Structure 1
Amino acid sequence: MTTPRQHLADIFVELAGGNPDLPLDPPVLLAALAAHSRDLVGARACGVLVALPGTGGGEVYASEDAARDLILDAEQRSQGPGPYCRATGNPVPRTDLRRAVARQRWPHYVPRALALGYTEVAARPLRGREEPIGALVLFGGEEARLTDEALEFGQSLADIVAIALTRDLELSRSRTLAGQLEHALTSRLVIEQAKGVLAAQRSLSMDEAFGILRGHARARQRKLTGVAQEVVEGRLML
């Protein structure tokens, strides 16, 4: 039987990325953040607005469809706490949507939120290493009020997921860079081998051999590495 403490520990492991031997799945992780945040902080609903590098725009994951549609519409209109929090990295404090000041600040957002039964809202940033990558939006209602403790806990959950996503992005960049460096090294090695073959065949200096290789590649609009590979393999005589 799983105890409440063990259940909480399992959630933390899930939000931290789960099994380290398996690749991180950002959509699954962000959907889990929205669902677990609602349950753990006692909110009416929760959503996550995120813009990861290379995605080209904001993506939304939420504990219910109504919250997702509201956050997505807010992102498109640049209204509501989600877009502000995601763009600036600053938290948005608990805001009573029934007050006139909220309606003045977000004239389109507030009526729609109230119609869905959300009477208060707050947002907490998903903080990347250099810039925010998203925002956790928490909605409260008449029977699910947002407390200061709930908002602090929500920030902790957002931080766990942000760390997992940031580390995964950095790992992906490192792998890409390593692949590029390996390709560059391999290409350089093939070219040097081809220069040696050509220099030996025609009694040329290494610089002269390289000039011939480069001239052949340019004249035929081919990559130098491809020409060099054919010379090394004996498929091209220059």
Structure 2
Amino acid sequence: MTVSQQRLAEAFVELAGGALGEPVDPPALLAALASHGCELLGTRACAVLGVPSETEDPQVYASEACARDLVRGAHRQREGPGAYCQETGRAVGRTDLESPVVRQRWPHYVPRALDLGYTHVAARPLRGRERTVGALVLFGSREEPVTDEGLAIGQSLADIVASALLREDELRRSHTLAGQLQHALSSRLVIEQAKGILAARRALTMDESFVLLRGYARSHQRKLSGVAQDVVEGRLEP
């Protein structure tokens, strides 16, 4: 195995999220993709537009500060390959920024990119089976072009990062759901306990006890589970 192959293998391990069982750090993973992308793909610059979860704001990391600012601004204006890739989940092939057609398509993006020395760009989606969580944007110049080999490796890097991010998002969702279910079960149990206590004290049926608890909670604008907990712990006699 050559040094470049060894380096590529190390990058894949890091971008997969590290050791199995360890939590994934989405910002660190996106930053690593931007860094490794530039190093391994031989491009002038590399940027990553990331949306790790549906509730988070877009994040941008890049090998150069000017590339980061370009991608961030383009996303706000919904221009450029990164924004298109993120929105559609489709790859953007190597695009000549000096083309009049491209300038017309992205009127704000192209002049700024050319001023920074980028002559062509491409983008690859960070895409899972269900949704796209970002885009890898590759910037080329005449001296450091975006190559076919770089695009192929770039998609592989993007795929492995997307897989890690979606796996972590699914894990967070599972933990949240488990917590919600546990809370619902605990609330249900304490309500049943309170119903039993009231039924025994007042010679009521379980349904009548529930009506009493619910009526007290509504009239005092409290949660039913909180009222039930107070009854069980002897702090309340509705």
The two structures have a TM-score, normalised by structure 2, of 0.94
**1:138: Cα distance to partner?**
0.2
Q: For residue 19 of structure 1, what is the aligned residue in structure 2? A: 19
Q: For residue 128 of structure 1, what is the aligned residue in structure 2? A: 128
Quote the Cα distance in structure 2 between the aligned partners of 1:3 and 1:136.
24
Q: For residue 119 of structure 1, what is the aligned residue in structure 2? A: 119
Quote the Cα distance in structure 2 between the aligned partners of 1:77 and 1:229.
52
Q: Which secondary structure does the structure 2 equivalent of 1:193 belong to?
A: helix
Amino acid in structure 2 at the alignment position of 1:84:
Y
Quote the Cα distance in structure 1 between the aligned partners of 2:169 and 2:157.
19
Q: For residue 88 of structure 1, what is the aligned residue in structure 2? A: 88
Q: Which secondary structure does the structure 2 equivalent of 1:136 belong to?
A: strand
Q: For residue 147 of structure 1, what is the aligned residue in structure 2? A: 147
Query: Which sections of structure 2, spanning at least 5 residues, go unmatched?
Result: none
Quote the Cα distance in structure 1 between the aligned partners of 2:104 and 2:143.
25
**1:217: Cα distance to partner?**
1.1
Q: Does residue 206 of structure 1 match 2:206?
A: yes
Q: For residue 221 of structure 1, what is the aligned residue in structure 2? A: 221
Quote the Cα distance in structure 1 between the aligned partners of 2:29 and 2:140.
23
Quote the Cα distance in structure 1 between the aligned partners of 2:12 and 2:190.
49
- After superposition, give the CA deviation of every residue in 1:5-45 in whole Å (9 maximum; x if it has no partner): 44332211110111334321111100100110111111100
Quote the Cα distance in structure 2 between the aligned partners of 1:7 and 1:70.
28
Q: For residue 173 of structure 2, what is the aligned residue in structure 1? A: 173
Amino acid in structure 1 at the alignment position of 2:131:
E
Q: Which secondary structure does the structure 2 equivalent of 1:192 belong to?
A: helix
Quote the Cα distance in structure 2 between the aligned partners of 1:169 and 1:21.
14
Q: For residue 46 of structure 1, what is the aligned residue in structure 2? A: 46
1:63-74 pair list within 5 angstroms? 63-74=63-74
Quote the Cα distance in structure 2 between the aligned partners of 1:7 and 1:150.
15
Quote the Cα distance in structure 2 between the aligned partners of 1:141 and 1:46.
12
Structure 1 pair 149/4, CA: closer, same or farther in 2 (3 Å)? closer
Q: Which secondary structure does the structure 1 equivalent of 2:133 belong to?
A: strand
Quote the Cα distance in structure 2 between the aligned partners of 1:106 and 1:210.
63
Q: Which secondary structure does the structure 1 equivalent of 2:198 belong to?
A: helix
Pick which of 82-91 and 96-105 moved more: 96-105
Q: Which secondary structure does the structure 1 equivalent of 2:135 belong to?
A: strand
Q: Which secondary structure does the structure 2 equivalent of 1:107 belong to?
A: coil
Quote the Cα distance in structure 1 between the aligned partners of 2:221 and 2:183.
20
RMSD (Å) for aligned C-alpha atoms: 1.5
Amino acid in structure 2 at the alignment position of 1:76:
R
Equivalent pairs: percent with the same residue?
65
Quote the Cα distance in structure 1 between the aligned partners of 2:6 and 2:140.
27
Quote the Cα distance in structure 2 between the aligned partners of 1:105 and 1:210.
64
Quote the Cα distance in structure 2 between the aligned partners of 1:233 and 1:12.
55
Quote the Cα distance in structure 1 between the aligned partners of 2:10 and 2:169.
23
**1:131: Cα distance to partner?**
2.0
Query: Which sections of structure 1, spanning at least 5 residues, go unmatched?
Result: none
